Amino acid sequence: MSQLWQLYRMNQLDTEKDKKTIEKDKLMKPDQLEKECKELEKELEEFDEKKKKLHLKMKKSELETDGVVNHRKKLEKKIYDGKTKNPKELLNWQLEIEHLKKKQEEKEDLILEMMEKMESIEEHKEDNKQLIKEKEKEIKTANRSYKSELKRLESEMSDMEANKEKIAKTVEENLLKKYEQLRRIMKDHMAVAKIKGEICGGCFTNLPDSMIKQVQAHHLVTCNNCMRILYWEDKKEDTKEDKKKRKKKS
Ligand SMILES: [Zn+2]
């Protein structure tokens, strides 16, 4: 097997690995879901805080209502026990009782309103709890798929790296150096270009016959236009894998 063929295989592996790296970078951790879940949990705490405050307010209103009711009852007792005959005083008490009744009604309405509010908070809280449960399930699933995808990509990448290292051991050092250098320079990281007909597979310019012949004789030749190392595919070197790939494509 020629050195150039090995280099070409190496380039294919490197390209595949680059693709996997991009795929790996694109893998989404369920961060957004976790953030949403945290917000819901915070809301849940806020609901509890609201409930606590409302409960205190309700208790206070109930005590105040009790006070109003007791006051009214005392006045009613005074009116009906007959101890006072003073009409002016009786009238004043009567007016005050009316006023207290109104006050009691207002307080009771307020309590009712607060009770409704409490119910609505309770409902929201239950909805919130349900949402948290769903989010937690989603996070679990997302985490699982993230981890398994990461594991798959990392194992594929390490296989490629191992393969590359194996090939690299068979390639001359100066050639390897040139390859790595070119890979760094090239925008698409393609350091080796396969000759297609009479055309450089890297930049698609025509190559002179003499150049192609040199490449076919396994000499190190670079394209005058794109500087890539030229490779001629010798069918004997074609791997079973490549054949399979081509079969799939056609
Ligand atoms: Zn070229």
CA 233 – ligand 1 centroid, Å: 16
The Å distance, Cα 194 to ligand 1 centre, comes to 9
What pLDDT does residue 9 have?
A: 94
CA–centroid distance, residue 184 to ligand 1 (Å) = 16
Determine the pLDDT at residue 238: 56
Centroid of ligand 1 to alpha carbon of 207 (angstroms) = 8
Centre of ligand 1 to C-alpha 88, Å, is 116
How far is residue 93's CA from residue 241's CA, in Å, rounded to a whole number? 105
Instruction: Tell me how far the alpha carbon of residue 211 lies from the centroid of ligand 1, in angstroms.
Output: 12
- 242: burial class by Cβ within 10 Å (0-12, 13-18, 19+)? middle
For 195, the enclosing helix (H) or strand (E) is strand 192-196
pLDDT at 239: 55
> How far is the centre of ligand 1, averaged over its atoms, from the C-alpha of 192 (Å)?
9
∠ Cα 11 12 17 (to 5°): 95
Which CATH number is associated with domain 26-165?
A: 1.10.287
In the chain, where the domains are located:
26-165, 172-249
Cβ(222)–Cβ(228) under 8 Å?
yes
Rg (CA), the chain: 42
Note the residue count of the chain.
250
Q: pLDDT by residue for the chain (250 residues), tens digit each?
A: 588 999 999 999 999 999 999 999 998 888 888 999 999 999 999 999 999 999 999 999 999 999 999 999 999 999 989 888 899 999 999 999 999 999 999 999 999 999 999 999 999 999 999 999 999 999 999 999 999 999 999 999 999 999 999 999 999 999 999 999 999 999 899 999 999 999 999 999 999 999 999 999 989 999 999 999 999 987 766 555 555 555 655 5
Amino acid sitting at position 171: V
For residues 203 and 185, give the distance between their C-alpha atoms in angstroms, rounded to a whole number. 15
223 Cα: distance to centroid of ligand 1 (angstroms): 5
Give 229 Cα–ligand 1 centroid separation in angstroms: 8
| pLDDT for position 234 | 79
